[in-house]
Structure 1
């Protein structure tokens, strides 16, 4: 096995919330040993001098929708693992099966989302399954288990009995269930928690429970008496306490709403990664198509922007699990990989400490989905590391100051990672081949 030594860096211990100067010996894709600065170093192996640098675990984006075309941008941003919340496991198989040290992230994926009629993303397709029949939902969960889905994703127009059936079936296979209720007309966060849903994405469904009868589709003038800018903290605390009893976990994706509300003055640091993304048609053309809808997007997100932030902090303070995700590439300029850095900034803006924010994208994220071999810098763990030029414990904005990224024991510069980005022609060709195969098998 190949060996590598990262010596004399400041190692950030996210579990114990401390940092210390030391060296990390890597063998193969694992951390073999952690050596304190006053201990002897191994000789005769390749060495990277990390003096003056800061080493943290690889970041985890807990809510995104990855694509082969921008997968390397995640790793170039220090994001070495992603949780893909809806899509198609078979379409992602090329990424899922990559070698451990490939410059693409590890993918923990759900399969197509289960929605109610008529389907927010249209009728049943390779990316969604639309049904109002509980038994059909159970069959779909079993199919997803067979193709290798790690969890089940439910969507906002799902009926209550279908949600309960899907959650019950998933439990038989020890699979967690995530739900996005942002556009739900009938169900609330508490309904989902009682039905056995494990994850509430975007802290969705809270507004529907706090204000019965409200949803994004109704006439908002009738709800103009609600001060969405200053959320009702008493209501939030009461609902968080009820949700917490069901051990539900939250991924608030605050950057999604933040970018929408900021537009056109979006968060966009002009670094190597973002410049590379901006040179691609996808997802840039998708974002540009949303620019003309910015007034509508702002109106809908004004309701949840501050509410989501208040819920995230309250739930965490009450002992709930709150992790970092982005919903990349949704809405407006949620840059693959880089958007997670803005999410961490928002965590700090709402009252998390720097180390608590980092925990939300490392150790706490890994624990939340039982990935025991990543998320911390410890002997025996996978060597997914980010080497920074500045201390993120002093300022969370320093997580962007990336010198090197180690993925599965292999060290890369950002330039090296970005040089592996596939051509859009190759990506489109691969997608077209998948679509043809899918339609031949599933479309009658």
Structure 2
């Protein structure tokens, strides 16, 4: 490999495993000295050798893709043609909010073909999983993710069989989803939402940019033509374009959601076409931010941390706003897990979402989850925690009013969703003909939601996965 036009060098690609969720690839020279570490978003290379980056990056990407294919082949356990039978399970009926004891579920291909009691016939030759003492639930959904490398395996290991990606590089996401669907990379089913932002110094690094009505409608059309199901509006979108985007999206059958752009508030966003609001902080900013506040900055978080505890959640302003959400059937995607760490963790504390996994994590990941939250002083700590309690209560008020809460995390893949569900506790039934996306849990999450982490088998697209094998593939030790 040439390090410059004049001096050819022989380089060695070395994979360093065990520090993170995936191996780190570095290039060493003939003396064993670091020559380069390259990635799509950032590269480090010896001075004068910059021209070698594209070739090295292509090699890294090919190695990564080959590894992903190999893991997908090794860890996907396909049942025989006769199917799969899960017997003697406590079956969670999410529509009736009940648990059916000693149930049998039969899967053939990627569909459930029978659901019944212990006497249900098991097809001859089917693989049988004895689920005594365990609970069978529908596959979990994380309604707010941004997919990247290795996250597919983490989602499946955690029982997450469907995710909604709410903003990504379009080409990268489309290619990744195609690999998931083809079975050449480990990953869940994916609903794709396309991000649209306006031009500004704060423009998102992914998605499409629209500065006028023509660009906005073209962006919607591009996403719709590619099979996306939703548009996500971002912070720098000009407020005048929100109704334009909403009208174009609704005309193509797409939902509209997002952050609330600077210069608008959550009420105006709903009134001009939002079907859903991302992040509970934008609900609070409806009451805590003024026209001159730049909510593209960290103010959109710090203002809520500082003042949410002061908002009268039982007052007429909040009641009228919740009435508006009810009238418009607006969905809330609160991502409480994000704010739990930021508003409540002390420096050196483990991130609450990761705490149950901390001793199992790769070394660098374990170090990285002890950064603590926003509070720098004791006074801030008390105030921020009181504000977090207000966030929880607002979500509970919305739930009590019948507002749909989408269980999204916008956080660490897979392992964050159980924590998001735990926070909801603080504050589709398997049936014949339905997709065979199922999770077998050691324990009863209807009595203790924390047991939802105890996945012992995951079925997605009719393929069986062993969570212990999936976790091991990304460097997480067994429980």
TM range (shorter): 0.7 to 0.9
Find the partner of 1:63 among 144, 150, 165.
144
Deviation at 1:129, TM superposition (A): 3.3
What residue is the counterpart of 1:305 in the other structure?
388
Quick check: 1:384–1:409 contact (8 Å CA) kept in 2?
yes
* Residue correspondence of structure 1 range 351-430 to structure 2 within 5 A: 363=428, 376-421=429-474
Find the partner of 1:51 among 124, 128, 132.
132
Deviation at 1:141, TM superposition (A): 1.1
* Residue-by-residue CA offset, 1:45-66 (whole Å, 9 max, x unaligned): 2211111111001110000111
Secondary structure of the equivalent of 1:110? strand
Q: C-alpha separation between the residues in 2 aligned to 1:336 and 1:25?
A: 29
Distance 1:82 1:242, change over 3 A: same
**Given the two structures, how large is their TM-score scaled by the length of structure 2?**
0.71
* Residue correspondence of structure 1 range 331-350 to structure 2 within 5 A: 335-350=412-427
Quick check: 2:308–2:387 contact (8 Å CA) kept in 1?
no
* Residue correspondence of structure 1 range 4-43 to structure 2 within 5 A: 4-20=84-100, 21-43=102-124
Deviation at 1:80, TM superposition (A): 0.9
Q: C-alpha separation between the residues in 1 aligned to 2:419 and 2:405?
A: 16
Q: Where do 5+ consecutive residues of structure 2 fail to align?
A: 1-80
Deviation at 1:86, TM superposition (A): 0.7
Deviation at 1:230, TM superposition (A): 6.2
Find the partner of 1:194 among 255, 260, 271.
271
Find the partner of 1:253 among 332, 335, 348.
335
Q: C-alpha separation between the residues in 2 aligned to 1:307 and 1:45?
A: 51
Quick check: 1:202–1:253 contact (8 Å CA) kept in 2?
yes
Secondary structure of the equivalent of 1:93? helix
Distance 1:246 1:169, change over 3 A: same
What residue is the counterpart of 1:174 in the other structure?
253
* Residue-by-residue CA offset, 1:229-281 (whole Å, 9 max, x unaligned): 66522232221111221121111000000022233422223549x845x4567
Deviation at 1:137, TM superposition (A): 1.1
Find the partner of 2:322 among 235, 240, 248.
240
Distance 1:262 1:204, change over 3 A: closer
What residue is the counterpart of 1:81 in the other structure?
162
Secondary structure of the equivalent of 1:197? coil
**Given the two structures, how large is their TM-score scaled by the length of structure 1?**
0.76
* Paired residues, number: 381
Quick check: 1:55–1:386 contact (8 Å CA) kept in 2?
yes
* Residue correspondence of structure 1 range 252-271 to structure 2 within 5 A: 252-263=334-345, 264-265=348-349, 266-267=351-352, 268-271=354-357
What residue is the counterpart of 1:3 in the other structure?
83
Q: C-alpha separation between the residues in 2 aligned to 1:8 and 1:129?
A: 49
Q: C-alpha separation between the residues in 2 aligned to 1:225 and 1:391?
A: 38
What residue is the counterpart of 2:229 in the other structure?
150
Distance 1:222 1:410, change over 3 A: closer
For the aligned residue pairs, the C-alpha RMSD in angstroms reads 3.3
Question: Is 1:94 paired with 2:175?
Answer: yes
Quick check: 2:139–2:438 contact (8 Å CA) kept in 1?
yes
* Residue correspondence of structure 1 range 316-335 to structure 2 within 5 A: 316-328=399-411, 335=412
Instruction: Say which is worse superposed, 138-147 or 215-224, in terms of deviation.
Output: 215-224
Secondary structure of the equivalent of 2:328? coil
Quick check: 1:187–1:208 contact (8 Å CA) kept in 2?
no
Quick check: 2:87–2:131 contact (8 Å CA) kept in 1?
yes
Quick check: 1:89–1:149 contact (8 Å CA) kept in 2?
no
Quick check: 1:103–1:420 contact (8 Å CA) kept in 2?
no
Deviation at 1:227, TM superposition (A): 5.7
Quick check: 1:231–1:306 contact (8 Å CA) kept in 2?
no
Q: Where do 5+ consecutive residues of structure 1 fail to align?
A: 329-334, 351-362, 364-375, 423-444
Distance 1:337 1:226, change over 3 A: closer
Quick check: 2:157–2:458 contact (8 Å CA) kept in 1?
yes
What residue is the counterpart of 1:206 in the other structure?
283
